[in-house]
A and B are shown apart, each in its own frame.
Chain A
Amino acid sequence: MTTRAVSIRVRPRRGDPALSAVALAALGLYVLFIVVPVLMSAWKSLTNENPLLARADFVGLSNYREMAHDSALTASLGFTLLLAGAVTVVANAAGIGFAMLLNRTSLSFRMMRTVAFLPQVLSGVIVGYVWRYILARDGILNHVLVSLGVIDRPVTWLGSPHLAVLSVGIVAAWVLTGFTTVVHLAALQSIPVELYQAAMVDGAGRWQRFRRITFPMLAPGTTISVTISLITMLKLYDIIAVLTSGGPADSTQSTALYIIQLAFTDDRYGYASAVSMLLLVVSVVIALSVTALLRRREVDL
């Protein structure tokens, strides 16, 4: 007993107390604002906590049972997953195409590349307002489409459920395409020109060169781009809040918006926590499995 205590005392200080202090402060902050909130949500999801009630009671899994019959939740989750999936595919396909179109080094192309990223620089609130103006009934999009003869009379882009879903998707895809284009441009520039020269010598056509060289060589960029697109879409809040506030008839209410409504409008803290846990699990499972899948694809290619 005594010998062990002594041996600890005489052990040379390998430590770095000052650096450890800063590092542990960082860890502590992270625990306080990510780990503890998640644990709190997990615990509150088992209660009926509500600021209007005097006290919160433990209700077991009843919040989770309610979730199974909550059609608003089902609809919001369906919308969130549809939006995340569709926008990720569209934005990445558009990003690859746009990147290939802009992959030249002359000044005009460098300028185009600069402005292509601009949607990413604006806040979701500004993006939401600009597009609300563009998509308004008397807005510029209807104006252009009517004068081109594509549609006979103005369409209420944000006024009917199906079109509102489409509109939110278009706006989100617009923002994300700024990002996917830049990532794929960088990936394109890392492909050795010799590969294309060799393929041309072998008589490979345009499509074959894309299929056999460009697309596989883009894989590391695509992995990052797709993963970040999905994460961004699963947490999307600001653009929807400004563009539609989740309407009409809750058709564009993402699960993030639904959680905010439950927590801050309906004051149902317990139930909001249970829905939070669901969104947390869904987000982490999707992000991890898609990353793993794309990594494996990189190896296969």
Chain B
Amino acid sequence: MPPVAAAPRVSRRAWVTRGHLTAAALLTLAFVSPVYLTLVNAFKTQDQIIRDPAAPPAPPTTHNLTDALARPDRIVQIGLTNSVVTVVVSVLLVIPLGSALGFWLTRRSARLRRIVLAGFAAGLMIPPAVVLLPTIRILAFLHLDHTYPGLILANAGGGYLSFAVFVYSGFLRSVPGEIVEAATVDGAGPLRVWWTIVMPLLRPATATVAIFLSLWIWNDFMNPQFILGPLHGQTITTGIYLSVGQFSTDYAQLFGVMLLAAVVPVAGYLALQKQFIAGLTSGATK
């Protein structure tokens, strides 16, 4: 082929590539524009926001953030603390419960395993609104309604546990039985085999469970809203709902509070991106 004919072909391919990049970039920008709006407007005054909501913050102000943190009800600080405690304790409960149950099931008959896993599958499908009222009744019976221990206990026993059991059961299928047998022959009891042999092998599953449960429990709205009740405490998510209602037209305040609430999960996601995506997509490609 003469070189003259090759040149336009190469440049045409370059144009296609550039066009593809531009299209992808424009679409991505449009797609994340709501996130962009939250970010820039958190650093703008009310006037700046009204004049041009999409403009970058020039000059930026941190007043919205300091105002949010200086609120007399301390809703941001209290909400963040309560959310951290709720998330950490719930996840620390669900991880050993889910993985022990998953491991225990591998040592039972296939029939029992199928029945139990089918029961847990239902837990993934049941809308939380369906079990909310009876859950509050049970917590009231235990004198745990409107308390954080009650909220945490309901988290540990509900759909979140289903998710953990499924992730662990899936990963346990790839753990070779010989490893467990060898450890058992060496005289280790099942509890020790689980904790010292199986748990380390399940680390990717634990990462998936910890990451997604943390995100979901942090962002959960319905359970804290009704199990705690507005008078008995706020997580950061119910806190925004409560506080933002008061200044529905004070956009500067609104975006300040929302940025402070969003920064923890977003930072967590950006730091743990790889594990996030790996956990999300382990089922999509077999």
Interface residues of A (CB under 8 A from B): 16, 18-20, 22-23, 25-27, 29-30, 32-38, 40-41, 44, 98, 101-102, 104, 108-109, 112, 114-119, 121-127, 129-131, 133-134, 140, 143, 174, 177, 179, 182-187, 189-190, 220-221, 224-225, 231, 234-235, 237-238, 241-242, 255-257, 259-260, 263-264, 269, 272-273, 276-277, 279-280, 283-284, 287-288
Contact = CB atoms under 8 A, between A and B. Distances in A.
Given A133-B251, A237-B222, A19 B119 contact: no
A301 to B, nearest CB: 14
Contacts of B65: none
Contacts of B31: 98, 115-116, 174, 177
Contact of A130 (B37, B104, B119, B215): B37
Contacts of B27: 98, 101
Contacts of A134: 34, 37
A121 B162 contact: no
A83 B219 CA distance: 22
B147 to A, nearest CB: 15
Given A44-B134, A256-B127, 13 more contacts: A16-B191, A27-B116, A37-B134, A40-B134, A98-B31, A130-B34, A190-B285, A231-B125, A241-B221, A255-B129, A256-B129, A257-B129, A259-B130
B14 interface: no
B210 interface: no
B129 A235 contact: yes
B70 interface: no
A153 to B, nearest CB: 19
Nearest to A33: B157
A125 B221 CA distance: 7
Contact of B97 (A22, A41, A109, A241): A22
A247 B191 CA distance: 53
Contact of B190 (A18, A104, A122, A185): A18
Interface residues of B, number: 86
B283 A18 contact: no
Of all A-B residue pairs in the complex, the 7 with the closest CB atoms, nearest first, are A33-B157, A16-B190, A186-B281, A29-B157, A23-B104, A123-B219, A235-B127
A7 B194 CA distance: 30
Given A22-B96, A189-B285, A123 B133 contact: no
A32 B138 contact: yes
A118 B128 contact: no
Contacts of A190: 285
A25 B154 CA distance: 14
B43 to A, nearest CB: 15
Given A101-B24, A279-B130, A224 B157 contact: no
Contacts of A101: 20, 23-24, 27
B75 interface: no
Interface string B1-42: 000000000000000000011011101100110110110000
Interface in B24-78: 24-25, 27-28, 31-32, 34-35, 37-38, 53-54
A220 B286 contact: yes
B283 A140 contact: no
A275 to B, nearest CB: 9
A279 B133 CA distance: 14
Contacts of A25: 97
A23 B241 CA distance: 37
Contact of B37 (A35, A118, A133): A133
B83 to A, nearest CB: 10
Contacts of B24: 101-102, 104, 109, 112
Contacts of B97: 22, 25-26, 29
